[in-house]
Amino acid sequence: MKRISISFIISLLFLTNCGSMQINEETFLSQYEFDDFSQFKGTSVFIRGFDSKKNPIVFINAPHLLQDTLNTGLYAVTLDKNTNDVITSKWLTTEFAKADTSRLNQLAQTFISYNVARLEMDEVENILVYFNDVKTLKLAKLVDTVAMKKHYKEFEWIRVKGYWYKPKLKK
């Protein structure tokens, strides 16, 4: 019984920490509706987890920033939870990848300021935003609605504001 209680308390603490990352569409749009996200073009950035000191570990997939496209892979950046300074960064590939790592570190720092779990931008600058987890799409800025509607056929797109839409699963 004591073991179950301890597990329950640890679970609650974990959920409380994750809760600090929660954001909703109104808050996000009030702060970032007109932000220039172009630095994320062709990039996917997401929080993979946290280190032992609760510092976020951010993974970046930005193949267009690699000089040698044969060695593609994810780039991992651990950021200080208080200052967003880079603590560590490394390639998650078996081979050394040549890329502008200072730009990748800067992308991680900018991403973490949005307080979301995942952010992606395609080559035509459609943006996908995942608030509380890396699997549940919550908001999208659709510059090319035709392409997005073809690619994401399972969703109806409900306009929230300007080019920003929220997905609703089709029945």
Query: pLDDT for 69-106, tens place per residue?
Result: 555 678 899 999 999 999 999 888 756 667 778 899 99
Distance CA 3, CA 170 (A): 43
Token digits of residue 161: 């504001």
Give domain limits for the chain.
Answer: 24-169
Can you give the pLDDT at residue 22?
61
State the chain's maximal CA–CA distance in angstroms: 56
Considering the entire predicted model, what is its pTM? 0.79
Please determine, for residue 20, whether its predicted confidence score (pLDDT) is greater than 50.
Answer: no
Residue type, 119: L
R_g over Cα of the chain: 18
